[in-house]
Amino acid sequence: MAFEFTDGNFQETAIDKKGVAVVDFWAEWCGPCRMIGPIIEELSTDYEGKATIGKVNVDNNPEVSFKYGVRSIPTILILKDGEVVDKHVGVTTKQALMEKIDAALN
């Protein structure tokens, strides 16, 4: 299951933690977010032990969303050692996300 990032745990689980974190900014009312949700769940299983893959509900976590300038959802950030190395706004394919994650892992 995808990790749940929050305003309270984001610093320690995505920024301070070494390695790759994939963060999906979403909301329950967002149709495109619901389309990409299952892909994020699959990736969290596929990359278990290699990357932290999870979601931030923008309605419940405004601080993180504001900090990263998330204005449209879904927005997916890929962080490596706390730094944003890639960003995607809108719906995408599992393959496209895997390529971005693999690039960050290498």
- 30 catalytic? Reply is yes
Please report, for residues 26, 49, 84, the alpha-carbon distance to residue 88 in angstroms, rounded to integers and kept in the order given: 13, 23, 11
Tell me the CB-side half-sphere exposure of residue 13, using CA atoms within 13 A.
Answer: 17
pLDDT in tens, the chain (106 residues): 899 999 999 999 999 999 999 999 999 999 999 999 999 999 999 999 999 999 999 999 999 999 999 999 999 999 999 999 999 999 999 999 999 999 999 9
Residues 6+ apart with CB under 8 A from 36: 24, 26, 74, 76, 91, 92
pLDDT for the residue 1: 87
Domains of the chain: 3-105 (3.40.30.10)
Catalytic residue among 15, 30, 89, 98: 30
Q: What is the DSSP letter of 14?
A: I
Alpha helices in 1-106 (DSSP H): 10, 31-46, 62-67, 94-105
pLDDT for the residue 42: 97
- 11 catalytic? Reply is no
Catalytic residue among 2, 14, 21, 33: 33
**Gap between the Cα atoms of 103 and 55, Å rounded:** 20
